[in-house]
Structure 1
Amino acid sequence: MAETLKYWKKGDWAAYFGLLANNLTNLLTMVSLLLFVVGFPPEIIYGRIVPGFGLGIFLASCSYFIFGRMLMKETGRTDVTALPSGPSAPSIFTVTFLVILPVFKTTNDADFAFSIALVWCLFEAFILIVGAFLGDTLRRIIPRTVLLSCLSGLGLLLLAMNPMLQSFETPVVAFVVLIIIFLNWFGKSPIFARIPTGFLLLAAGTILAWSFGLQSPEAITAALQTLGFNPPEVHVSSLISGIPHALPYLASAVPLGLANYIFDLENIESAHAAGDPYKTRRVMLANGISSSIGAFAGNPYPVTVYIGHAGWKSMGAGLGYTLATGTSMLIISLFGIGALLLAVIPVVAIVPILVYVGVVTANQVVRETPKIEVPVIFICLFPWIANWALSLANNVLSAAGTTGQAVGAQVLAAKGVYYNGLVHLGSGAPISSLMWGCLAIFSIKNQPIRAAIAAVIASILSLFGIIHASTVGFAQPASMQFVYAYLMVATLFIIKYLMDRNKPQENAAV
């Protein structure tokens, strides 16, 4: 019994509910997009994709549990927190809109679109597997402040911002939940201390939501119709048939694969900063292999180290929460009960937990950053802010039946919306945030050669449309201004280096 209890703590409950809610939200988002936007057949969604989706998360969760246990034995510590696992949230939109939707609309062949998407995921997994052997080197090269600052932007804008907006749409539920979080997790004098905070949040939110009529019994009836057992199947033939036709769609896999790779690096560094030094290669290989197996089982969406390790650790979570989440996601995916859970437990009772995790993730960089490097935090935030604002603007324009291109950048600029700036700054945010963080920190620390190298790399990334462009492509006209600008910046840093070299008394760093 003691052996079992060692892997489950009081804090695991709150972390379990929070991480499960995030994974469930991603699952339901994916299902909704495929059903209502793409028009994919339900039998493919529930019979092939969803079971593979749950299997991929389960395998990654098992790996993270094992890695946590290994770290416990290696260090002799009992306060180790396992890494959280989940799908790559950006890939849900990328695979759906850039791969499945265009192929399906062009060919009207759901099986063919499904096979192309599986090849796309397998290519993503390959990037993670190859990158596993470079991860430790990159973590040594890229300053910790930059990695954590990029992660703080991801935490605040992609994880916490929309949940905060949802909270303000239903304040009669969310405000009480938020204040309980402030009291129990940020404060030192918790309310109802004998009750696990995670359970308290869900109970309070659920009671308030039903009391104010925000939940519908009809939703439960509708959700019951999705129940049924759908075991994962092996889809080797679908993968093989998709390979010859997948090349045009793999271009979008490169920038997203690099972005997922950077996410993993940042989250591993975040765990290290919080006191849990996981081995980069192990984690990357686990993600790549889990994504590969998931693809063979029918899941076109890769898995990743999910954001929030510092938040879950601050709740007192150990190893059990991640394994419990992965197991729950597998069961939910096999039996189709995700919609039923969210019909009973309101999302608005859960999303404040994600606000907390985003804030704690951002706060971590503040604690870990030397005073002179603090400006780097805010420099790294700008691409994420632009990325979030661009998504918001595009969604608003789409709801109005138009696009930014149709309205015109000049018309939007006249209203104070610099649409082209949002496109350039927000596109490729994970990588451009990293590059600008490097440029800022190497400038602050007077390391001009490193800064020049970063500028040249940014120029190459711009040349291929991986950053600052809405689509990948070589030497696109709109991208060339960034190619030249970064090369000019690299030249400036080289001039700075040469000037410093003639001033040996200043001991300028290289």
Structure 2
Amino acid sequence: MSHAASPSPFRPRWFVAGDLNGFFGLVVDNLSILGFIAMALVGIFRFPAEVVFGRMFPGTAFGVLVGNLAYTWMARRLAARSGREDVTAMPLGLDAPTSIGMALLVLGPAFAGFKAGGMTPEAAAMATWQLGMAALMIMGLFKLVLSFFGEAVTRALPRAALLGSIAGIALVLMGFLPLLETLKSPVVGLLTLGLLLYVLIAKGRLPVKLPGVLVAFVVGTLLYYALGLAGLGAPGFKLPELVPPQIALPLPSLGFVTGMADALAYLPLLLPFGLLMVVGGINVSESARAAGDDYRTRDILLVEAIATLIAGVCGGVAQTTPYIGQPAYKHMGARSGYTLLTGLFIGIGGMLGVVSMLVQWLPLAVLSPIIVYVAIDITTQAFQATPHRHAGAMVLGFLPSVAYLLLIKAHGWIGPEQFVAMTTTVNGQGLPEMAVILVLGNGFILTAMLWISAVAAMVDGALRRAAVFWAVAAAMTLFGVIHSVAPNGALTLPWQLEGLGRTLCWQFAGAYAALAALMAALSLQSTASLR
């Protein structure tokens, strides 16, 4: 008696042509954030470059390696289980907002404080590095605990809230801020951006059979240095000061234990950083699901948390996160090979000093345009994958990101004393405008999600549900989870606030409470009218 041969299990290819485009795009995302960390610490705070490149970067890069290997395996497992070749891995890298926050609000000020306390720059740098490791461990443990509640959040919130809050970040922060860097060298930046838009959005063909992203980067970089050396580039061109590459293995260390006592002082800032990453992980899982790849939210969050913890143990100072551009990489034609290549390149390159060299030599005018493209794609997908009736709610959710953008730029435009004056001076015309920008920008991701969820519920006629969202916003405001009155966005206790900070807290919380009461009252009216 013959038996029919059972079909062999589906095995997706390791690499496809689109993986090269995805690889270059994801590598550039990570290099641009590492470049900002280096620029902030070395350029602004005069941090010793050898500590940044030789101790902080290898461990940070190793976390990217671990996370991308895990996401590659998850994508291949999903492809084999579903029998689909077009499954795209979740991209993992360094989180831009919290990496910026770590550099400017934690590491830089801590380094300055250690020096002011009498430490030598070298000793202060080592103490700051250990503090950064401890901070990463705190955020990683916090994310690990919260990862088990991610799917409950996805069931409680509408898709518009999950995708809309991400689209606001994409359009305002990932789109506009990199666009400014792009246009600081207009010839180079616009040419690179134009090439990327041609090959990725217009799907145009190039005369050479090479990945379009690679061509854009090579052309842009060569043009940047050629124009600069010829005296025709943007003002201020200069060759970077090269720090020789050094081999640095990200070996496990207990340095985070030494830095824990100092890191605990930053706990009110670190916990919101970790919470934002969990929310972001939930959102990107929903984004991937909308694009056709149904990853389990808990698994995505667990990988993110574990990669952050491994980076912290090995000397890293910036937390990893799943990137919000998974649909963009899918449209590039990337599958699972691009995350494997990225993890190996960033991880091994971080150990060998290659990443540090690239960070020093790749101009921001060439790095930034790919982030602009990803921002465009994310925002487009958010509108395409959500019900049309929720479009207005999503647009409302973009506005807190604008406040955060203004907050970022304000610190560069005005001095600390002037900023304090602008946030505390009352002129008889309501709350100070800069103070409103401050509290609207603090916790902007969660604010956007709550606003969109509440308005979407109102559109759907679920007024009691809307009342719950407004009530949650009121409770979060009281403790600074959103609308924190602290300049650094830290958590606060309402009974400890004084002066204008107390007024801001209770005014915003009271406004949300009033909205919740109004929606509850209207829901009773609607119920009565149906009888």
Matches of 1:266 and 1:56, distance apart in 2: 21
Of 348, 365, 377 in structure 1, the residue corresponding to residue 394 of structure 2 is 377
TM-score normalised to structure 1 length? 0.91
Does the CA contact (< 8 Å) of 2:31 and 2:355 recur in 1?
A: yes
Q: How far apart are the structure 1 equivalents of 2:332 and 2:317? A: 32
Matches within 5 A, 1:223-242: 223=242, 225-236=243-254, 238-242=255-259
Matching residue within 401, 404, 418 for 2:433: 418
Please state if 1:473 is matched with 2:492.
yes
Residues 276-319 of structure 1 show CA distances to partners (whole Å, capped at 9, x for unaligned) of 11111111111111111111111122111012111111111111
Q: 1:495 to 1:29 in 2, by over 3 A?
A: same
Contact 1:390 / 1:426 at 8 angstroms: preserved in 2? yes
Greater Cα offset, 389-398 or 50-59: 389-398
Matched, 1:386 2:412: no
Report what 1:337 is aligned to.
354
> 3-state SS of the aligned residue for 1:134?
helix
1:503 is aligned to 2:529: yes
2:182 and 2:203 mapped to 1: Cα distance? 24
Partner letter of residue 263 of structure 2?
A
- Residues 412, 294 of structure 1: alpha-carbon distance in 2 compared, 3 angstrom cutoff: farther
Residue 121 of structure 2 corresponds to none
Residue of structure 2 in register with 1:34 after alignment: 41
Percent identical residues: 27
Q: In 2, Cα distance between the equivalents of 1:174 and 1:252?
A: 35
Counterpart Cα distance in 2 of 1:371 and 1:5: 35
1:489 and 2:515 aligned? yes
- The CA distance in 2 between the partners of 1:102 and 1:346, in whole Å, is 27
Q: How many residues align?
A: 496
Q: Alignment RMSD, CA only?
A: 2.5
CA–CA separation in structure 2 for the residues paired with 1:244 and 1:211: 49
Aligned partner of 2:239 among 203, 210, 219:
219
1:35-54 matches, within 5 Å, as 35-54=42-61
Q: CA deviation at 1:156?
A: 1.3
Aligned partner (choices 441, 445, 456) of residue 430 of structure 1:
445
Alignment partner for residue 114 of structure 1, among 129, 138, 148?
A: 129
**Structure 1 pair 145–193 and aligned structure 2 pair: CA distance change class (3 A):** farther
Moved more, 267-276 or 171-180: 171-180
Structure 1, unaligned stretches of length 5 or more? Answer: 506-510
CA distance in 2, matches of 1:344, 1:115: 28
Matches within 5 A, 1:316-331: 316-331=333-348
Whole-angstrom CA distance in 2 between matches of 1:95 and 1:166: 21
Q: Distance in 2 between matches of 1:204 and 1:4?
A: 37
Q: Distance in 1 between matches of 2:165 and 2:349?
A: 32
Aligned partners of 1:396 and 1:80: how far apart in 2? 44
* Paired amino acid for 2:245: L
1:118 and 1:298 in contact (8 A); partners too: yes
Partner of 1:58: 65
The 2-side partners of 1:343 and 1:50 are apart by: 13
Deviation at 1:486, TM superposition (A): 1.1
Offset at residue 164 of structure 1 (A): 1.5
* Residue matched to 2:76: 69
Following the alignment from structure 1 to structure 2, what is the Cα–Cα distance between the partners of residues 58 and 115? Answer: 21
Report if the CA contact (8 A) 2:144-2:305 is conserved. yes
Q: 2:196, 2:213 within 8 Å by CA — same for their partners in 1? A: no
Q: What is the match of residue 361 of structure 1?
A: 378
| Separation in structure 2 between the aligned mates of residue 103 and residue 193 of structure 1, nearest angstrom | 50
1:192 and 1:479 map into 2 onto residues whose CA distance is 59
Distance 1:230 1:424, change over 3 A: same
Q: Does 1:8 align with 2:15?
A: yes
Question: Given the alignment, which residue of 174, 182, 186 partners 1:167?
Answer: 182
8 A contact 1:98–1:249 mirrored in 2? no
Distance 1:110 1:470, change over 3 A: farther
User: 1:19-63: per-residue Cα shift (whole Å, max 9, x none)?
Assistant: 111101111211222223334344432332111101111111111
Q: Give, as a single letter, the amino acid of the residue that structure 1 aligns with 2:89.
A: A
The answer to whether 1:349 aligns with 2:349 is no
Residue 141 of structure 2 corresponds to residue 126 of structure 1: yes
Once residues 113 and 332 of structure 1 are traced to their aligned partners in structure 2, the CA distance between those partners, rounded to angstroms, is 24
Aligned to 1:304, the other structure's residue is in SS state strand
Instruction: Give the equivalent residue in structure 2 for 1:308.
Output: 325
Alignment partner, residue 463 of structure 2: 448
C-alpha distance in 1, partners of 2:158/2:34? 34
* Equivalences for residues 205-216 of structure 1 within 5 A: 205-213=220-228, 214=233
- SS of residue matched to 2:93: strand
Distance 1:242 1:182 in 2: 45
Tell me if the contact between 1:55 and 1:330 (Cα under 8 Å) persists in the aligned partners: yes
Q: Secondary structure at the match of 1:251?
A: helix
What residue identity is the alignment partner of 2:173? L
1:120 Cα deviation (Å)?
Answer: 1.9
Contact 2:12 2:85 in 1 (8 A): no
Query: Which has the higher mean CA deviation after the structures are superposed, 129-138 or 336-345?
Result: 336-345
4+ residue segments displaced more than 4 Å: 214-218, 342-345, 407-414
